[in-house]
Structure 1
Amino acid sequence: MFKTVNPLVFSFDVEWVPDPLAAARLFDCPIETPAEREQAMIRLWQHGGATEEKPQPYLKTILCRVVTLVGVLREKKPDSKIPHLRLISLPLKLDTPWMDQERAILQGFFEAVGSKKPQLVGYNSAQADVPILVQRAIVNGLSCPGFARRPEKPWEGVDYFSGHGDHSIDLAPVLGRYNQMPSLNEVARLSGIPGKIDTSGGGVAELWLEGRLDEILAYNECDALTTHLVWARFAHFGGFLNAEEYEAEQKAVRDLIVSLIENGKPTLKRFLDEWDRLQAIQPPESS
């Protein structure tokens, strides 16, 4: 369990696909056309141990390309009872050529985090999201000193690489290890919070190959909102949010979603409807 809740919290989620450029560099695969890029991705899956039963195995994250990154930025000022929430969705431009999208996402993330120093919150982020961001920043040759530099002593600054601090929080291992660790979808739905709605992580590669980045981003936005709502439940469990503050946090998320729908994100209506449906499922009254 985490020990603190910082004034600035960023609950985030990342989506990635096998990187055709990695296949080109490792195996000399051609990647000029969509069909060639698909074959390059298949080659990476084969390298990762693909079988007939499991044709798309989980790959080492360094072999994958970040395609979207979304987070809920929470700012809580001391004189305010209501947190201010923003949804940050990257890439900002969906029509950027695919070869340039990842670099723009990574630069945007590391520059903002390195400057503002929010408390990062993810689900299985210590094993997946944070490593792929660091690995791919190195692959892309980026300099990210604001994020990467570590203080001489723990109390002298923010350290995103420490396994003992609260600057980067992974919610997943708090709930269990190995076979006892629930998926984000499981812990969310059992808590009355929307989990997976239309797409699963396994469908992202196909969407990316078809150029449907807007659908990946919409899927990623739902996961980021889910992550933040699960974080709020953790914060309530830990006593960082009392009952009134927990209700206010959920209302702030709902108000954010309504505002986003009104301002051009109609896909989030599904998230809101699913939230209402799950909340309405209550245990039967005892007779």
Structure 2
Amino acid sequence: MICVFDCETIPDIELVRKTFDVEGDDYEASMQALAQFQSQNSTTFLPHPYHKVVAISAVFADDLGHFIKVGTFPGESEKEMIEEFLRYLDRSNPKLVSYNGRGFDLPMLFLRAIKYNLSCPAYFEQDNVELNKTKWENYRSRYSEQFHLDLLDVLGNYGAVRSLKLDTLCQMVGIPGKFDVSGDQVMELYYKNEKEKIKEYCESDVINTYLLFLKYELLKGNLTHTDYRAILARMQEKFPQDKSYSQIFLDFLQKEIDDSN
């Protein structure tokens, strides 16, 4: 099983109020914290402990990369969402695929898991003959793609190339990329209670990542062009029809199939 995943986050307002000089409602306080941090660091991207999870989405595919479904892990609270994701990881031991998952999503998730006293032994084990986990082949092995493939790592030659943005790569290769919402709008959407829009944005991000993953597999020779077209055709059949992102991706799939013939 392959799980292409991504997280959306907002500032942890409890931690913000403890460590920044802020006032006002939660949204105003968060904006003040971002401005204060930017004035000292030239970025509004807060350190990992300040990120509160508001969505975890994934494309699920079989071991050969065939699309099964796209969705968002359930949960009314941050704890429930993380718990669902870790339970799935612990139970199924999927191959994870991400874009900067090694640098952001996974470290952030496990810091938040510590906050809630959650556990996920499968992520840390290094000796499991049945699953072929070894000291060199496990979820935390940076240079192995067997359990976790971070596309930013491999496409950027493990840090040799900087500033590779997912959306830029998608635009370069013709994948839709961001088309409606961007990451810097998530906090505003959250405080407007537009959580469904956040979920659909997160799902569109993992679809982009999955499509880039397929092109990477094609590059490596793990997929033939016939395989690639077949996977896209199957994806067309199984793809949700009722999402805000549905048509733009369905149009891409048809064009990509036509251009690949």
Q: Please, what TM-score do these two structures have when normalized by structure 2?
A: 0.84
Gaps of 5+ in 2: none
- Structure 1 partner of 2:149: 169
Q: Distance in 2 between matches of 1:251 and 1:170?
A: 25
* Post-superposition offset of 1:269: 2.7
Residue identity in the other structure for 2:7: V
The one-letter code matched in structure 2 to 1:172 is L
Within 5 A, what are the aligned runs for 1:109-258? 109-151=85-127, 155-156=132-133, 159-166=138-145, 167-176=147-156, 177=159, 180-257=162-239
Alpha-carbon distance in 1 for matches of 2:126, 2:256? 43
Identify the residue that residue 27 of structure 2 maps to in structure 1: 38
Q: Structure 1 pair 118/49, CA: closer, same or farther in 2 (3 Å)?
A: same
| Post-superposition CA distance 1:95-126 (Å, at most 9, x none) | x3xxxx21111001011011100110011111
Alpha-carbon offset, residue 278 of structure 1: 7.3
SS in structure 2 opposite 1:58? coil
Taking the aligned partners of 1:180 and 1:68, their CA distance within structure 2 comes to 27
Count of equivalent residues: 252
**Change in 2 beyond 3 A, CA 1:136/1:247:** same
The 1-side partners of 2:21 and 2:116 are apart by 19
Q: CA deviation at 1:46?
A: 4.1
Residue of structure 1 equivalent to 2:5: 12
Distance 2:243 2:38 in 1: 39
Residue of 63, 84, 90 corresponding to 1:108: 84
Equivalent in the alignment of 1:268: 245
Q: Which amino acid aligns with 1:163?
A: R
Partner of 1:89: 72
Secondary structure, aligned partner of 2:70: strand
Distance 2:181 2:255 in 1: 18
What is the CA RMSD across the aligned residues, in angstroms?
2.9
Aligned residues of 1:15 and 1:68 also touching (Cα < 8 A): yes
Deviations 1:60-117 (A, max 9, x none): 121010110111111147xxxx835121312x25xx3xxxx21111001011011100
Check the 8 A contact 1:19/1:63 in 2, yes or no: yes
CA contact under 8 A between 1:69 and 1:89: conserved in structure 2? Answer: yes
Cα displacement (A) at 1:210:
0.9
TM-score where L is the length of structure 1: 0.77
Distance 1:200 1:171 in 2: 20
Gaps of at least 5 residues in structure 1 are 1-7, 283-287
Residues 86, 229 of structure 1: alpha-carbon distance in 2 compared, 3 angstrom cutoff:
same
Match of 2:19 among 26, 29, 32: 26
Deviations 1:1-26 (A, max 9, x none): xxxxxxx1111111111111212343
Structure 2 distance, partners of 1:252, 1:273, is 12
